[in-house]
Amino acid sequence: MDNKLNTYGFGNSASTVTDVVVRNRVLRNTYWLLALSMIPTVLGAWIGVATGFSFMAGSPGLSLILFLAIAFGFFFAIEKTKNSSMGVVLLLAFTFFMGLMLSRLISVTLSFSNGPALIMYAFGGTAAVFGAMASIATVSKRDFSGLGKFLFVGVILLILASVANIWLQLPALMITVSVIAIGIFSAYILFDVQRVVNGGETNYITATLAIYLDVYNVFANLLALLGIFGGNRE
């Protein structure tokens, strides 16, 4: 019977429909979990601001190493548990941690008289970027998978420049890094969403982690630029 269905094209059609259903379900679950991940992020940022949390208060180099160790520890644990509910728990715990890491930038922004407005502008700009890139990834027939290698190299260069600027403290380099970071992670949103749409990523927890990091970095760098160019001291 299956051979007859395949002979007349019905088998391939059924398989295609199934693939589309699975991809749509993964994409829908990814968006829901991404939205949910914003709650612990905001909570972490709020607690960090309220308590004066500062991860980089001591040695910048040591703080960076500790941050990377914690972040990659989360990545490893999430990857190992991505097929269970524990993966969701760990992902949400990671987003809380990233909210804490964002609190210093939020505190600096709130020190401006127009700080709350800058945060809303950054939020709105990030939402606009995400909406545009996700829409293109969903409706475009163009394959953006080739961007992966270039974007990865770009991220490595960004990390190296950011680490160097911890000691160099060059405002021009900081601005350049933030501008390039917004461009790279905006393109990563396009890349990561299309991977889900095309079936390249079938686990919604892994997909959410990737897109969350894209959105987080766009927001953080956009907020930093808005603070530099639009912040008003009281």
On whether residue 89 sits in a domain, the answer given is no
- Span 47-72, average pLDDT: 83
Average pLDDT over all residues of the chain: 89
- Phi, psi at 204, each rounded to 5°: -70, -25
Q: For 73-107, what is each residue's pLDDT tens digit?
A: 999 999 999 999 999 999 999 999 999 999 999 99
On whether residue 146 sits in a domain, the answer given is yes
Q: Which domain holds residue 36?
A: 2-40+103-230
Is the CA virtual torsion 119, 127, 191, 209 positive or negative? positive
Closest-CA residue to 83 (of 128, 29, 131, 32): 29
On whether residue 56 sits in a domain, the answer given is no
Residue 200 has pLDDT above 90, yes or no: no
On whether residue 62 sits in a domain, the answer given is no
Q: For 7-47, what is each residue's pLDDT tens digit?
A: 445 455 555 666 778 888 999 999 999 999 999 999 999 99
On whether residue 57 sits in a domain, the answer given is no
Helix (H, G, I), strand (E, B) or coil at 70: helix
Domain count, the chain: 1
Position 170 confidence tier, pLDDT thresholds 50, 70, 90: confident
Q: Cα 196 to chain center, whole Å? A: 15
